[in-house]
Amino acid sequence: MCLNISSKPPLAVFAATIVGFVLALISVSLYLQSHKAQILNPDVKNWNSFYETLSDMDICFPNSTKMSSLPPRLQSGVALGNETEDTNITFSIFADVHVEREGKTMENQILHALINSTYLGFKGDTSVLEITLELAKDTAKNWTACVTVFGPSHLLPDSPYSPPKCTPSKRVNAYDIEMAQPWMVPDGARWCSAGVLGGLRVAAQDELNVYLSEGEVTTIQLHILYTTCLLCVMMIGLLFYFIFGKRNCSKAKTLHTLDKIPLHP
């Protein structure tokens, strides 16, 4: 049986797969080298990822324009207790928030909502995050709102870089709204059927990103290098297997032909 690429399709596919892995790893390593100081740390839940999750949600404005009084815990905006996983904390931060209702940007309003932890990416968690958006009347710098949150600390970012703190106004009345990801609501088709849909966008801030250190990036590149070398050794072994396997096959065919001597020439 001839041992070459054409006669061994599975082996040829395996060799091509190894080559593809090698090229992919080299590409990743080159990308890491050229963006060494811009690789986000995947182990840290930063504020920009939290903002992105909020921006993915829809807002439902009830038809009623009745305002309700904010709970006292959301009026102070100061931290309560120690920041452990089971402790509820309260704090207020500046953020660049844009809320739209019927195509119009809302200003000088206070919005209050309860967000299920499922919409924040915590499946099976029954916790609730309470949030208040105090939209500014006049934009100052890059901040358009004072955001006050209350809830378990494990629902919030654990980044070492936090947005600047703000002080909520003395207004205690707010519009109650609903915030959710409709495709995750059990009856999403009917969600907000009795209200008005709106949009929310919280802009990311570059200074809140948490990047990998150069040492961590170098460690990743070393692991990629070791894996690439191992794959290259496998490729060399396959190459020798193809070459010497074919030669042995040719010799075997020659000997087999010589053995077939006609008895009656």
At 3 the pLDDT is 46
Task: Classify 103 in phi/psi space as left (phi over 0), alpha (psi -120 to 50) or beta.
Answer: left
Q: Shortest CA distance to 105 belongs to which of 66, 71, 139? A: 139
In the listed set 208, 228, 259, which residue is the last one of a domain according to the structure?
208
- 177 in a domain, yes or no? yes
Same domain, yes or no, for 225 and 132?
no
Backbone angles phi, psi at 18, to 5 degrees: -65, -45
Would you say 82 and 94 are in contact if contact means Cβ atoms under 8 Å apart? Answer: no
Q: pLDDT tier at 141 (50, 70, 90 boundaries)?
A: low
Please give the pLDDT value at position 240: 78
Residues 55 and 128 occupy one common structural domain: yes
Q: What average pLDDT score do residues 157-167 get?
A: 89
Indicate whether 150 and 219 sit together in one domain.
no
Residue 260 belongs to a domain:
no
User: What is the structure's pLDDT at 49?
Assistant: 92
220: tokens are 């990743």
Check whether residue 170 and residue 121 sit in a common domain.
Answer: yes
Q: Are residues 118 and 155 in the same domain?
A: yes
Domain count, the chain: 2
* Domain assignment present for 31: yes
234 and 160 co-located in one domain: no
* Residue 261 included in any domain: no
**Confidence (pLDDT) at 255:** 47
The whole-number pLDDT of residue 147 equals 92
Answer yes or no: is 1 within a domain: no
Mean pLDDT of 6-15: 70
Mean of all residue pLDDT scores within the chain: 79
Same domain, 74 and 90: yes
Q: Is 90 exceeded by the pLDDT of residue 8?
A: no
Whether 241 is in a domain gets the answer yes
Q: Quote the CA–CA distance of 246 and 216 in Å, as a whole number.
A: 45
Q: Round to whole Å and give the CA distance between 180 and 172.
A: 24
Res. 137: pLDDT tops 90: no
Q: Are residues 28 and 149 in the same domain?
A: no
At 103 the pLDDT is: 82
Name the pLDDT band for 202 (thresholds 50, 70, 90): very high
Q: Alpha helices of 56-197 — where are they, by DSSP H?
A: 73-76
State which of 114-123, 185-194, 241-250, 253-262 shows the largest mean pLDDT: 114-123
Amino acid letter, 250: S
86 and 197 co-located in one domain: yes
Residue 79 pLDDT level (bands cut at 50, 70, 90): very low
Task: Tell me whether residue 254 is in a domain.
Answer: no
Task: Work out the average pLDDT over 30-40.
Answer: 84
Domain that holds residue 25: 9-39+212-248
Burial readout 18-45 (b: 16 or more C-beta within 10 A, e: otherwise): beeebeebeeebeebeeebeebeeeebb
Q: How many CA within 13 A on the CB side of residue 7? A: 9
Stronger pLDDT, 226 or 11, i.e. the higher one: 226
Kindly state whether residues 232 and 169 are assigned to the same domain: no
Which range in 81-85, 212-216, 239-243 is most confidently predicted, on average pLDDT? Answer: 212-216
Is the same domain home to 55 and 121?
yes
Instruction: Tell me: do 144 and 13 sit in the same domain.
Output: no
Domain membership of residue 263 (yes or no) is no
Q: Determine which of 112-116, 171-175, 254-258 has the lowest per-residue pLDDT on average.
A: 254-258
